[in-house]
Amino acid sequence: MKVGILLGSTRSGRQSHKVAHYLERRLQERRVATDLIDLAESQLPILEERSGRHPQLQARVQGLSARLREADGLVFVTPEYHGSFSGVLKNALDYFWEEFNRKPIGVAAVSAGKLGGINASTQLQHVILSLGAFPLPTKLLVPEVQSAFDESLQVKGENVAKSTGRFLDEYLWFARAIVEAKRAAPEQAA
Ligand SMILES: Cc1cc2nc3c(=O)[nH]c(=O)nc-3n(C[C@H](O)[C@H](O)[C@H](O)COP(=O)(O)O)c2cc1C
């Protein structure tokens, strides 16, 4: 199974990438293949037209499309901005639809405040339903992210380590159940 980690923060001085890299390490410790898709690298412009329909953006969008298609499941990592998830993530999601269809998707939300992006995470779970995908009910919330990691990107304290472990337990159980169901009935799998 391969899990794509879609990083929805492109701000200079961003903090959410620490959570994305940490999730990648924890998945790899569990022998799960990963692909960290950093939207800061893909540089998608504000949407003019969807994947497959834009004459100039084919290479960049198709590259991203292929990576999303290769993932059996995804984890979206988003900062909380003004009570919601990031605009850059929504812009990227709007390019695609089939790439997400019937896939298990977990949400990790990151905030500078104490609530850990709770608003961003619930709103993003709603959007995942509209992508025809399955949102994991459990979310990973990382509050006060600016003090959660040390300079070598190791997690400080036990809270984030424990909540990440619980989140990944749930996510992998959920994702494997969906992947198995698709293998058992490929004619019904999207
Ligand atoms: C435009 C903007 C809006 C923000 N709004 C919120 C917010 O509504 N609630 C919150 O807890 N933190 C808010 N923050 C702080 C972010 O949660 C903080 O930047 C955090 O580090 C995660 O995002 P990052 O990846 O951009 O660093 C905001 C930050 C920015 C840049």
Q: Atom 23 of ligand 1 has which residue's CA nearest to it?
A: 79
How many independent structural domains does the chain possess? 1
Per-position DSSP letters for 15-70, written without gaps between them: SHHHHHHHHHHHHHHTT-EEEEEEHHHH-PPSPSS-TTT-SS-HHHHHHHHHHHHH
How large a percentage of the chain has pLDDT more than 70?
Answer: 97
On the question of pLDDT at 51 being above 90, the answer is no
On the question of pLDDT at 101 being above 80, the answer is yes
CA of 113 to the centre of ligand 1 (A): 8
Is 83 close to ligand 1, i.e. is its CB under 6 Å away?
Answer: yes
On the question of pLDDT at 189 being above 80, the answer is no
On the question of pLDDT at 187 being above 90, the answer is no
Q: Write out the residue range of the structural domain in which residue 177 sits.
A: 2-184
CA of 11 to the centre of ligand 1 (A): 10
Residue 189 forms part of a structural domain: no
Task: Report the 10 Å Cβ neighbour count for 53.
Answer: 11
Atom of ligand 1 nearest to the CA of 114: 11
Residues 56-85 have a mean pLDDT of 93
Judged by DSSP in three states, 4 sits in: strand
Residue 171 forms part of a structural domain: yes
Residue 179 forms part of a structural domain: yes
CATH of the domain at 85: 3.40.50.360
Question: Whats the size of the chain, residue-wise?
Answer: 190
Residues 91-106 have a mean pLDDT of 97
Residue 190 binned pLDDT confidence (cut-offs 50, 70, 90) = low
CA distances from 38 to 4, 54, 81, 166 (A): 10, 21, 18, 24
Residue 190 forms part of a structural domain: no
How much is the pLDDT for 79?
Answer: 98
Residue 13 forms part of a structural domain: yes
